[in-house]
């Protein structure tokens, strides 16, 4: 039996934080997410081929990391013709920041 405190987070919020934290747990994924956010700031999008060229990793490596970011909801893919373009999900990032602030001890 689990005792719930009055100010305890919902299980779904804890699960959300864990999933996003797991997606951010690799330096390459952090770099990819940050870069995609910067590209999107300029009202542009980016595809896998461009990420491979920018970062110098194999396409399979980029795809693996992108899948983890997509599964966490941090990246939204959009298929156009034969290419998939990526957009950072700022709403998911903001939710993550808001929820993790609740862990603050200050």
User: CATH number of the domain that 65 lies in?
Assistant: 1.10.10.10
Whether 43 is covered by a domain: the verdict is yes
CB 74 within 8 A of CB 34: no
The pLDDT of residue 50: 95
Whether 40 is covered by a domain: the verdict is yes
What is the Cα–Cα distance from 65 to 40, expressed in whole angstroms?
18
Whether 4 is covered by a domain: the verdict is no
62 is in which domain, residue-wise? 11-98
Whether 104 is covered by a domain: the verdict is no
Question: What is the Rg, in whole angstroms, of the alpha carbon atoms belonging to the chain?
Answer: 16
Per-residue pLDDT of the chain (106 residues; tens, 9 = 90+): 555 555 677 889 999 999 999 999 999 999 999 999 999 998 898 999 999 999 999 999 999 999 999 999 999 999 999 989 999 999 999 999 999 998 776 5
The pLDDT of residue 6: 52
């Amino acid at each position: 039996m689990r005792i719930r405190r009055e100010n305890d987070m919902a299980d779904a919020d804890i699960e959300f934080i864990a999933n996003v934290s797991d997606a951010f747990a690799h330096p390459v994924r952090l770099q990819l997410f940050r870069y995609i956010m910067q590209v999107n700031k300029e009202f542009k999008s980016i595809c896998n081929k461009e990420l491979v060229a920018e970062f110098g990793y194999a396409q399979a490596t980029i795809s693996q990391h992108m899948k983890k970011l997509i599964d966490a909801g941090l990246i939204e893919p959009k298929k156009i013709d034969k290419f998939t373009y990526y957009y950072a999900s700022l709403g998911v990032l903001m939710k993550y920041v808001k929820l993790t602030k609740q862990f603050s001890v200050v």
